[in-house]
Amino acid sequence: MLRQELPAILTTVVAIVVFLGGILFSLDEMNVLSEIDSWIQLMGNMALFLGGINLCKLHVNNIRKRRQHWIFSVWLLIVFGFFTVLGLAKGSQDPLYKGLYDALIVPVNASMHSIAAFFLCSAAFRAFRVKNLDSILLLVSGAFVMLASVPIGDLISSNIPVISDWLLNIPGSAVARAMSNGMFFASFAATLRIFLGLERRHLS
Amino acid sequence: MFWKKIVDLDPKIIYLFVGIALMIPVIRPIGLPLRISSYTQDFYDYLMSIPEDSIVFLDLAFRETGEAELGASVLPVFELLQKRGVKVIVGGQWEQAPFFMQRRLEEVADRIGSVYGVDWVNIGYKPGGTATWRVMMEDFWKGAAGVDCMKNRFEDLPLMHRVRKLDKDTFAAIIIWEAGSPGQGTWMQYAPDIPLLAVYMSGIGGNVRYLRSGQVKACIGGMQHAAELEKLTGTYGDAIGLLDAQTLGILVVLGFIVLGNIAWVIEKNASSVE
């Protein structure tokens, strides 16, 4: 009851209140929605705290069971613990905390992302083969958009940015709109199932 | 045999060429001529049309991975607004950027004589997702927990006394640097009456639909537009130099794609003859 029914009932009740809040002025005047928002904000902070605990539990288990790459879990816990203690004790604007973050996390994360450029190039070399009309269209339109995104495109021909703009504005826009509408309806249907208590997998 | 080798080219050779292409312009910039695109011109014109002494919210919704492309345009926009006397509130739907951009913003502010708390404030990241921003729309101080990113109380920051609500009467515009979700959708859904400007990562791409619909008033994307913005504002930073590297990188990618296709077609024809 407590694990399944109560969260489902709470979800449905809150969903009804929020829905009615959107269409009834009286609820808006009673600040019901802003009160719910404050609760969501509070729960967001609690979720952050729970996320930290879950992360620790997961990696402690990895170490205890000597799972593959468990040594990285040790490293994660050391860094996690160090930054948590330092942040709580000195604050996020402490020179040591900020210095470590700026000197380590920022360049390491940026480097990890930059490596994708190499993999992308290698993958493009193998994937972009002109096997049929579809792949020719993909390759040609991709080449126009890529060239237009750097100054050399305009130097080669002033038509390249024009063609790229047309590709983005007309077919690209239409397809992106269609996809986002499709995604909206799909997520709306999924949310509705949760609101009505039909979908409970997230509670198990 | 040669073409077969090209078709089965070792990825390490491709990595080597890409590495060289990216490194050369960083060591010795080429200085390719830069034409100002209509997107950047419109974006710049919109920034110039924001009245002096009004307040703009900069939403730095990205993390370290987006620093090179998105961070490059934060500084020229910040500098331009501050020089024009537009007040700036910096915040972020993502945790990292308001934190690691603080130092770079401080450097710009020190150089141009902007005073923290009077001309600009960084409220930092506020957890809680869209609910937090909705609370700020009713009561900015409550939603932002009444402190900036350095735990200064809003009471002690003169600019914050003008910021009581996240609404169109307080903010002349919201400018978002977007690397994913959460991003511009928050402002489109909950603050559609505040003019929204957007800076996208790796080009505008499919986001041009929001410009066409009017949900975004002006937008730029990628390193090229950041470099164009630097040129327009006269604030020369990283973007113009890095754009040369991106140009050579793209040429190498296209070169390998063309070479790969030639090799693949020749190899296919040769094997069908056999």
Name the least confident of A97-106, B101-110, B195-204: A97-106
Residues in chain A closer than 8 A to B256 (CB atoms): 121, 124-125
CA distance B47 to chain A (A): 22
Structure confidence at residue A204 (pLDDT): 66
Question: What average pLDDT does this structure show over B212-230?
Answer: 91
Q: Are strands B196-200 and B171-178 parallel, antiparallel or unpaired?
A: parallel
Task: Check A124 against B256: CB less than 8 A apart.
Answer: yes
Per-residue confidence band for B167, with pLDDT thresholds at 50, 70 and 90: very high
Say if A125 falls within a structural domain: no
Please give the share of chain A, as a percent, with pLDDT higher than 70.
96
In this prediction, residue A27 has a pLDDT band, given cuts at 50, 70 and 90, of low
Output B106 or A98, whichever has higher pLDDT: B106
* pLDDT score of A51 more than 90: yes
Does residue A26 fall inside a structural domain?
no
Whole-number average pLDDT of chain A: 86
B 162-191 near A (Cβ less than 8 A) = none
List of chain B residues whose C-beta atoms are within 8 Å of the C-beta of residue A126 = 260
- Residue A195, amino acid: F
Give the end of a domain, one of A61, A82, A114.
A114
pLDDT band at residue B62, thresholds of 50, 70 and 90? very high
Q: How many CB pairs under 8 A join A and B?
A: 158
Q: How confident is the model at residue A28 (pLDDT cuts 50, 70, 90)?
A: low
pLDDT-derived band at B164 (thresholds 50, 70, 90) equals very high
Q: Name the residue among B64, B128, B224 with its Cβ closest to that of A41.
A: B128
Ranges A26-40, B196-210, B237-251: which has the least confidence: A26-40
Q: What angle do CA A53, A58, A63 make, to 5 degrees?
A: 125
Are A110 and A145 members of one domain? Answer: no
Sheet of B87-92: strand order equals B120-125, B87-92, B55-61, B171-178, B196-200, B218-221
Contact A129 B222 (CB under 8 A): no
Assess whether A109 and A135 both reside in one domain. Answer: no
Find chain B residues with C-beta within 8 A of A49's C-beta.
none
Same domain, A136 and A182: yes
Distance from C-alpha of A44 to C-alpha of B132, rounded to nearest angstrom: 9
In a domain, A106, yes or no: yes
Longest distance between any two alpha carbons in chain A, whole Å: 69
**Mean pLDDT of all residues in B38-56:** 96
Q: Give B131's contacts in chain A (Cβ within 8 Å).
A: 36-38, 40-41, 44
In a domain, A73, yes or no: yes
B12 touches chain A (CB under 8 A): no
Average pLDDT, chain B: 91
**Integer Cα distance of A92 and B26 in angstroms:** 33
- On whether both A108 and A142 belong to a single domain, the answer is no
- Domain endpoint, select from A114, A148, A170: A114
Residue A64 shares a structural domain with residue A102: yes
pLDDT at A3: 75
Mean pLDDT, residues B245-262 taken together: 91
Task: State residue B81's pLDDT score.
Answer: 96
Domain assignment present for A8:
no
Higher pLDDT, B54 or B24: B54
- Interchain CB distance below 8 Å, B34 and A112: no
User: Which residue among A88, A114, A140 closes a domain?
Assistant: A114
Residues A145/A134, Cβ–Cβ less than 8 Å: no
Tokens matching residue A169: 């504005």
Is B28 at the interface with chain A, CB within 8 A?
Answer: no
Please report the pLDDT score of residue A182 as a whole number.
Answer: 95
Minimal Cβ distance to A173: which of B68, B139, B209: B209
CA distance B173 to B236: 24
Could you read off the pLDDT of B68-110 as tens digits, one per residue?
888 889 999 999 999 999 999 999 999 889 988 998 999 999 9
Rg of the Cα trace of chain B? 22
Tell me if residue B68 falls in helix, strand or coil: helix
ipTM for this prediction: 0.76
Residue A25: band (very low, low, confident or very high) from pLDDT cuts 50, 70, 90: low
Q: Residue B246 — very low, low, confident or very high, per pLDDT cuts 50/70/90?
A: confident
Domains held by chain A: number? 2
* Smallest Cα distance from A64 to chain B, Å: 31
Could B247 and A40 be called an inter-chain contact, meaning their C-beta atoms sit closer than 8 Å?
Answer: no
- Comparing CB atoms, the residue among A45, A93, A125 nearest residue B257 is A125
Smallest CA–CA separation between B173 and chain A, in Å? 23
Long-range contact set of residues B252-256: C-beta below 8 Å, sequence gap at least 24 = B252/A121, B252/B17, B252/B18, B252/B21, B253/A120, B253/A121, B253/A124, B253/A125, B253/A146, B253/B18, B254/A143, B254/A146, B254/A147, B256/A121, B256/A124, B256/A125, B256/B14, B256/B17
- In angstroms, the CA B135 to CA B248 distance is 47
Whole-angstrom Cα distance, residue B120 to residue B161? 12
pLDDT at residue B113 is higher than 70: yes
Same domain (yes/no): A144, A179: yes
Q: Is residue A40 part of a domain?
A: no
- Helical H segments across chain A, by residue range: 5-23, 25-29, 32-64, 70-90, 95-100, 106-127, 133-148, 151-156, 159-167, 173-195
Same domain, A108 and A138: no
Q: What is the pLDDT of residue A92?
A: 74
Structure tokens at B131: 């609910």
Query: Which of B246, B254, B268 is the best residue to mutate to test the A interface, defined by the most A CB atoms within 10 Å of its own CB?
Result: B254
The mean per-residue pLDDT over the stretch B200-215 comes to 86
Confidence of residue A144 (pLDDT cuts 50, 70, 90): very high
Domains of chain B, start order: 2-27+249-273 (no CATH), 38-235 (3.40.50)
Residue closest to B240 by CA, chosen among B252, B231, B250: B231
Q: CA A61 to CA A73: how far, in whole Å?
A: 9
Q: Could you give phi then psi for residue B152, rounded to 5 degrees? A: -75, 135
Of B34, B64, B209, the CB nearest to A176: B209
- What CA–CA distance (Å, rounded) separates A86 from A111? 25
pLDDT at residue A185 greater than cutoff 90: yes
Question: Is B260 within 8 Å of A128 when comparing Cβ atoms?
Answer: yes
End-to-end Cα spacing for chain A = 12
**Which structural domain, as residue segments, surrounds residue A83?**
48-114
**Best to test chain B binding among A109, A152, A163, A164 (most B CBs inside 10 Å):** A152
Percent of chain A beyond pLDDT 90? 30
Instruction: Between B196 and B95, name the one with better pLDDT.
Output: B196
